[in-house]
Amino acid sequence: MRIWRVVLLVDLALVLGLAAGYLWWGQQARRLANELQAARAVAAVSPGGEREYRATGVVRAGLPDLGILVITHGDIPGYMPAMTMGFRTTSPTIVESVSPGDEVRFTLRGTPPNLAITAIDKTAP
């Protein structure tokens, strides 16, 4: 075989090899990112419904007519980052037991996203 043909074949193989290597390399990074995301998703929503979270925060307002407490809370790992939002409560006494400004520790229970506060304690007077 003529040398230039050999060179051409080697170059073609090289281009294919480098392209395949580059794609594989990119895929590797994407696969790792996907795995991480999947693992996070699994950690966030375990199958089979009911979950329980504990969190701390400060009470901003109580809406007894609606049975809702507005709380500025810290990060709830696996559920939501720190924010101010309203939570439903399972009993009217929960809303009445705290007042705005109270620092509290509370328990959320239910099937995400349908969670409600089942228990609440003041952590600071």
Partner 1 sequence: MGEVAGLLARWLHLASSIFLVGGAALLLIARPSDRPTARRWESWILTACRVLVLAALGSAIATVAYQTAVLEERWAAALEPAALARMLTRTQAGNVWLARGGLLVLLAAFLAIRAEVRDRADWRALRGQAALLGLVALGLVAAAGHAAAVEPGAAAAITADVVHLAAAGLWIGGLPALALLLWLAGRRAGADARPYAVLAARRFSRVALALVGALAVSGLWSAWVQIASVAGLLGTRHGNLLLVKLVTFAAMLVLATLNRRLIPALGGEAHSVGRPAMRRLSRVVAAEASLAVLVLAIVAAMTVTPPARHEQPTWPLSFRLTLDNLGSAPDLASQVLVGSQVAVLGVVALLASLALRRLRLPVLAGGAVVLVAGGAIAVPPLVSDAYPTTYRRPDVAYQAASIADGRRLFDAHCAVCHGPQAAGDGPAAATLQPRPPDLRASHVALHTAGDIFWWITNGRPPMPAFGDRLDVDARWHLINYLRALAAGDAARLLGPTIEPERPWLVAPDFTFNVGPEYSRSLREYRGRRIVLLVLYTLPASAPRLGELAEAYGLLASLEVEILAVPTDAAPDAIRRLAGGPPIFYPVVTDGARAIVEAYRLFAPAPHAEFLIDRQGYLRAIVAAPDAPQRDPGRLLAEVERLNEETVTPPPPDEHVH
Q: Does 75 bind partner 1 (CB under 8 A)?
A: yes
**Closest CB 116 distance from partner 1, rounded Å:** 19
27 contributes a contact to partner 1 by CB under 8 A = no
- In angstroms, the CA 100 to CA 11 distance is 74
Determine, following the binding rule CB under 8 A, whether residue 53 of this chain makes contact with partner 1.
no
H or E stretch covering 17? helix 3-44
Check binding of 63 to partner 1 (CB under 8 A): yes
Regarding 30 and contact with partner 1 (CB under 8 A), the answer is: no
In DSSP notation, 85-109 reads: EEEEESSHHHHHT--TT-EEEEEEE
Strand intervals (E) in the chain = 51-63, 68-73, 83-89, 103-111, 114-122
Nearest to 70 by CA among 120, 33, 111: 120
Binder among 27, 34, 99, 111 for partner 1 (CB under 8 A): 99
Residue choice 12, 16, 19, 21 for contact with partner 1 (CB under 8 A): 21
* Interaction of residue 10 with partner 1, rule CB under 8 A: yes
Residues in contact with partner 1 by CB under 8 A are 2-4, 6-8, 10-11, 14, 18, 21, 25, 56-61, 63, 70, 72-75, 82-84, 99-103, 123-124
